[in-house]
Structure 1
Amino acid sequence: MGQKLVIFLHTEDLAQASAVVLAQDGAVLETIPSTTLAALTSQAEGREVIVIIPAEDVLLMATSLPQMNHQRLRKALPYALEERVIGNVDELHFAMGDYLPNGELVVAVVAKQKMQAWIQALREYQIEATCMLPLSLIVPWAEDTWSVAIFAEVAIVKTAAFYGFACDVANLQTILLLKLQEGTNKPHSIHVFNYTQTSILPLTIGDCVIKEVVYPVEHSLVDLANVAQQHPVSLNLLQGAYQAKRQWRQLKNTWMVSGILIAACVAMVFFSQIISYFILSSRSHKVEQEIATIYHQQFPGAHTVVAAKERMQDKLQKLLGQATGDPLFALLAAVGKGIIQTPQVNLERFDFQHNQITLNVTAVSFDALDTFSRFLKQQGLSVKQENATSVDSRAKADLVVQSR
């Protein structure tokens, strides 16, 4: 939503309004000096709507409150400002702004009856505002100055970024003098934006310079609309019970998206567990088939697999026991160690008869053969070398090995 519709509500007749249509880059697309809310229904469609309400209906102030979450702060505000406002705090709406550098919180106070009347008038013509600001906040302003916007019947005085008030034009000079005499936030100069085509203020008030510029009446809407679209939305009056439906929908959509993502993650975990179960189940079935095949190879007469692990372990123990008592296995174990210790010796073939083993070996040299023979003797074996020859620069011999 790039384009904006800035609606200026009239004080006397809520059905009457003025409006400015702004492009996404802030350029003015259309200025509507006088119209009705009914005529603005089509203009509001598809655009962000900023509503400007009369300055005299909103009280701007600051208060010192410790920083806390918005919910607690909203509950504490009415009681903190009870002695500074006129009327029952239960009948007033308190909108919070930002904390100022001095630690004070900016607050806008307006009657709930007024808020309800404005919102009802807009909704009657299907206009849903996203931001509602008092006219006193959108008067152009610069640091170390005050600004005054003069219209046909009312003047708006802005003394700081978030402070301002309205007064009648006839008493403007007197009120400015009184405010300057207070000495609070005294400006170097006062910039006056006069949209009445007639100069009103003198060149100075007290010792403060007045810089008054008279503008065409039609410029007022454009000047104010440009400030409105750039104004921080922190002091948006549409807070709490009056929060814009679109903002609620955005918040609801955010929670819905979060919920969907969480549900998707849970579903992924759930389905991954199911997929893992089927994969492992298939693998387990395959392993069981392999175990059954090996089992029947070892126990041909068995019809079913019973205690496969225990029976295979028992058979293995029996085979190991048989191997330990067989001289062939003992001799081969010793020969194997010798081959590992002397890699220069290769075993070509062997023959076992009468509890002795005859090894046909080759080596890179006769010294390697002697090393191999000494190792076997160190293992407690009797070694006899026969038919020692040299073939193709390699030593070749038959070794007769037996236990002593």
Structure 2
Amino acid sequence: MPNKLVIYIHSGEPTQFSFAIVNGQNQLQNIHHHHDLLPQESFEEIIVIVPTEDILLTSVALPKMSRNRYQSALPFALEEQVIDDVEHLHFTAFDYQPDGQLPVAIVAHEKMAIWLQALDALSLKPTQMLPSVFALPYNEGQLQIIVESNILVRTGRWAGFASDRINFSQFLHALPVGSAPQEIEVLNFSDTSLAASQDSLFTYHEKFAASADFFPTLVQHALNSPGNLLQGPYAMKKTTLWRGDKLLKISLCLGVALFSLLFLYPTVSYFILKPKLTALNAGIKRIYQKQFPKSTAIVAPKLRLEEKLKKLAGGGDKGGLNQILSHLGQAMQTESNVKLKRFDFQNGQATIELTADSSEDFSTFTSALTNQGMLVKQQSANLVGTKINATIQVS
């Protein structure tokens, strides 16, 4: 299983790093303070711990929305809490809290660029970047304090601050009422006591540890920290392996979809077209039996109907089918508001059922037929709303 690399960027020294190699079981293997000593290998994860002094951890009340929407809304919701122009700042949101607050980390784009450029110069592509206070242990309702060159204080899952010794007391008293417990646990990696320099409002339980254990302590808790500043424009692309795996999955899905389509298309088409084919054959049978009532079977329907049509249209007289159809077409071009519903031709005479939008349209249509020399007889006419349903005979 590939190893993980944890990098600590020292406060005030953006190009001074400490490196820790952790195996797949999250066990610390080696610590290096020079990049040249790192083994030449690919790391499963590269976690970078950055100075909290350069980051503002705050929260804002926003209604629940998609990540893209609240990422766009954050600069405007928090512009009164920052001094710099919001265009110069990077806003990272974490998980919504039960009270509706959305925790946010704010850092200057300039700082992000400095850190990432320094890492890029070492050919290191981080997968996670988190404030150093997120590498402190977290216990609900407790303040976690670590003292080294500066003081790191974790006040909540997504909250905390960094301070020097001079201003620490002011930061502590500025915490919301009730958020600072009366008894405070302190893990001190320096030679100078923190409790001895503070007032008696709080009871400090201070433990001292070797300064060499400071970085391993951060590494231990950073491995389980979910916070990540690499969001939005700084989100890192997935590894080539992941992209290849995703491409393989997409190819398999497309292959399955194509196979399913090739199999299902004829089947679905059959079930869709089968009823239509049945209805079409039934219609052909009805027409055939009507025209050839003595026939017991349907034989060459197209050919026989064409032959009968030629006989009906033959002779060239004015009562021929072709001539009636020709005059009928010209009349319909004259009056487009007339629609044919049924046409029947028997013995040189056509019986036509039609619908006209108005009585004027009906009169115009019949007049057009009469003007072409056709004899028009009205059999029936009914007014339905504003439309006329009529039956006429034309010869």
Category of TM-score, reference length = shorter chain: 0.5 to 0.7
User: For residue 35 of structure 1, what is the aligned residue in structure 2?
Assistant: 34
Does structure 2 retain, via aligned residues, the 8 Å contact 1:203–1:211?
no
Counterpart check, 1:272 vs 2:263:
yes
Aligned-pair identity in percent equals: 31
The Cα of 1:225 is off from its aligned counterpart by 0.6
User: For residue 150 of structure 1, what is the aligned residue in structure 2?
Assistant: 147
Partners of 2:124 and 2:109 lie apart in 1 by 19
Out of 162, 181, 188, the position equivalent to 1:166 is 162
Partners of 1:133 and 1:21 lie apart in 2 by 17
Does structure 1 retain, via aligned residues, the 8 Å contact 2:4–2:22?
yes
Q: Is the partner of 1:6 in helix, strand or coil?
A: strand
Which structure has the larger Rg over C-alpha atoms? Answer: 1
Alignment RMSD (CA, Å): 2.9
What are the equivalent positions in structure 2 for 1:2-401 lying under 5 Å apart?
2-32=2-32, 34-36=33-35, 39-40=37-38, 42=40, 45-152=42-149, 154-176=150-172, 178-179=173-174, 182-202=176-196, 205-232=199-226, 235-246=227-238, 250=242, 254=246, 256-257=247-248, 259-272=250-263, 310=298
CA shift in 2, pair 1:244/1:82, >3 Å: same
Partners of 2:265 and 2:146 lie apart in 1 by 71
Does structure 2 retain, via aligned residues, the 8 Å contact 1:93–1:109?
yes
How many residue pairs get aligned? The number is: 273
CA shift in 2, pair 1:186/1:259, >3 Å: same
Does structure 1 retain, via aligned residues, the 8 Å contact 2:11–2:53?
no
1:357-397: CA deviation from partner (whole Å, max 9, x where unpaired): xxxxxxxxxxxxxxxxxxxxxxxxxxxxxxxxxxxxxxxxx
CA shift in 2, pair 1:170/1:228, >3 Å: same
CA shift in 2, pair 1:184/1:110, >3 Å: farther
Moved more, 195-204 or 106-115: 195-204
Q: Is the partner of 1:202 in helix, strand or coil?
A: helix
1:179-225: CA deviation from partner (whole Å, max 9, x where unpaired): 36x52412142111100133231397443221110100011111111
Moved more, 183-192 or 159-168: 183-192
Which structure 2 residue ranges, 5 or more long, are not aligned?
Answer: 268-296, 300-395
Does structure 2 retain, via aligned residues, the 8 Å contact 1:41–1:125?
no
Which structure 1 residue ranges, 5 or more long, are not aligned?
Answer: 277-308, 312-404
Partners of 1:59 and 1:129 lie apart in 2 by 21
Partners of 2:188 and 2:142 lie apart in 1 by 16
TM-score with structure 2 length normalisation?
0.62
